[in-house]
A and B are shown apart, each in its own frame.
Chain A
Amino acid sequence: MRVVAGALLVSFACASVAPAGPADQCAVAAHLVHADAGMPNSVKAIDKTKTLKVVVVGSASSTLPGPAGIAIAYPSKFEMTLQKRLPGVNVQVVSVAKPRQTAQDMADGMLQILKEQNPALVVWQTGTVDAMRGVGAEAFQATLDTTVEKIQASGADVILMNMQFSPRTEAVIASTAYAEAIRYVALQRSVNLFDRQSIMRQWNELGTFDFLTPTKSLDTAALVHSCIGSMLADLVLEAVKSPDNKDSPKQ
């Protein structure tokens, strides 16, 4: 509800804004991307080793179907943008997106992923599958909380990403409690939240993208993912520049 309410407030404020053209597609929702916490581990990796290894852990909405799917899904755009904007740093984004995974499924595999990949940053996208399966929101939150703590203990930063906004399924998939849980854990564990739901809701309100017309084409999906990828990169760049990092050891 908080997410919904917040987005509504924003949409209220923006109700008189004309629909955006393709040039500033993403930008109309840029104000919804903000780093509330620093990311000291990423800063350390960038400064000390000139590398930034990121793992994206998520379900089907972190990828796109079809043979071209992975190449046009947001993790690859995220990697490209970060690489371009962090010259001299070797950026690597590994995507571990598997369909039908609940937060618990992903939590079970998390230690293995951390051990194999040893990332400085984990982007964890979750919520939709749990909401669809009716996993208790309380259990969901507990899983999220303990797993974020484990990731942090392993020496990686975390960005939590909530569910997609989908205007048609909104009344069928009760996602509010899960979005709230994600927001709450982000706040409690001082990790950044990428509020994909509010961003996409904003695009829907402003008519930036058409989420309603039935299509088999990947065109809109590719544009949406491209925007999400670059906005996620914006969040990382803002977070590594955050004054909250100044306590961390810097070269």
Chain B
Amino acid sequence: MPPIVQTGRDLRLDLFRGLALWLIFVDHIPSNVVNWITIRNYGFSDAAEIFVFISGYTAAFVYGSAMQDRGFVVASARIFRRAWQVYVAHVFIFVIFMAEIYYLTKNLENPLYSEEMRAFDFLQQPGEALMQALMLRFQPNFMDVLPLYIVLLLVFPFTLWLLLRQPWLALTLSAALYTATQHFSWNLTSYPSGTWFFNPLAWQLIFVVGAWLGVGGATQFANVLRSRLVIGLALAYLLISLAVVMTWYFPRYVAYIPKGVQDWMYPIDKTNLDLLRFLHFMALAIVTVRFVPIDWPGLKSLWLRPMIMCGQHSLEIFCLGIFLSFLGHFITSEISRSVEMQILISVLGISAMIAVAWLITWYKGIEGRGPGAGPKPRQASDLAGGEA
């Protein structure tokens, strides 16, 4: 395995983004017994928060220094280039999706499912679906995260500009937009009906908080975040959240939660990034940062290298994960639905993700050593995660 590229960047970001990518893959295979181990079963937040937060943090880290060194225009150009890459990935996933749908409808004929068949009505106007997908408005299952990321990147030059000058103002504006979104139920519409599954007006909060920490908030607040009180509160919140989630599986314990608390708490909405989810993720992050310090020797161990590598090539590995989860669902529904098969598919899928991440690392390493490589700093950031 090639060594991990050292860029002075926090390897924990790559580690946990790699973990999030694995979890997203596993969660995306319906009826997968391995879903049981993923964090969404043990608290309010899930891999989506990890992914968006770390993306914000990394984007600020990478493009923040570019903006300071080379100015607004250059940094913006690079951010837009990244947005373009994500957009192309989105179109790629759409193509995979259409191929899967084609297969499904060919074999779905059964009067029992006449209702479910209507989910494919859009196929009667595939041109319309294509156009709407290009406009990010067609977001069938699993095609919902990248549109969020694209929108966040498109406005990021301005977000970052403000973050570098007035970090507190940027944070306040973000929180204000989040609050207004909750209050006025703002969201973008999607095709053929409904709204965005990941409401960008709400989810921007976790991205901006990540970015805010990435441009220096983390160092400023290191002492607060490591104080016993904060850690204690975070741990308490995680435990309470775990207890609440357990009542979802064991409904006889629901009675222990006072009715008033339930009315206030539910529903814990993912679309609008419910405050309870946000806080749960922040608590998780605070506890993780406390117990996995930046110089933790484990980060350099061979065992964690695969996860870090996956996190360093998040876009490629994310797309691969979506493709593999489609494939995995195909196998579990058509060939074997045994528990052993579900476990095998999850293991094989993650192995494939690691292999591809390794391949990309290896390839970029070769390219980077070759003549005519770009300016050093850019190469380094490229190597350490396809920029952001």
Interface residues of A (CB under 8 A from B): 1-2, 4-9, 11-12, 15, 36, 59-61, 64-66, 99-100, 128-129, 132-138, 141, 164, 166-174, 177, 180-181, 184, 187-188, 201, 204-205, 211-212, 214-218, 220-221, 224
Contacts and interface: CB of A to CB of B under 8 A. Distances in A.
Q: 5 tightest CB-CB pairs across the interface, nearest first?
A: A134-B194, A60-B115, A221-B112, A214-B109, A170-B30
B119 A141 contact: no
A169 B33 contact: no
Contacts of A218: 111
B357 to A, nearest CB: 24
27 contacts: A4-B31, A5-B249, A8-B35, A59-B115, A60-B114, A64-B112, A99-B115, A132-B119, A133-B193, A136-B194, A136-B271, A138-B272, A141-B267, A164-B115, A167-B337, A169-B116, A170-B30, A171-B30, A171-B100, A171-B142, A171-B326, A172-B104, A172-B120, A188-B262, A204-B337, A214-B107, A214-B109
B193 A134 contact: yes
A60 B113 CA distance: 9
Nearest to A6: B249
Interface of B: 28-33, 35-36, 40-41, 100-101, 104, 107-116, 118-120, 139-142, 187, 190, 192-195, 197, 248-249, 251, 254, 262, 266-267, 269-272, 325-326, 329, 333-334, 337-339
A169 B101 CA distance: 9
A205 to B, nearest CB: 6
Nearest to B266: A184
Per DSSP, chain A at the interface is: helix
Given A1-B35, A184-B266, A164 B190 contact: no
B337 A205 contact: yes
B118 A100 contact: yes
Nearest to B248: A2
B338 A8 contact: no
Given A5-B249, A12-B339, A138-B271, A168 B104 contact: yes
Given A128-B116, A174-B141, A5 B41 contact: yes
Contact of B113 (A133, A169, A204): A169
Contacts of A169: 104, 108, 113, 116, 119
B114 to A, nearest CB: 5
Contact of A177 (B30, B115, B142, B270): B270
A136 B107 CA distance: 29
Contact of B116 (A173, A180, A181): A173
B106 to A, nearest CB: 8
B189 to A, nearest CB: 10
B159 to A, nearest CB: 26
Q: Most chain-A Cβ atoms within 10 A of its Cβ — which of B101, B110, B334, B337? A: B110
B111 A65 contact: yes
Contacts of A164: 112-113, 115-116
Given A136-B195, A214-B110, A220-B110, A61 B333 contact: no
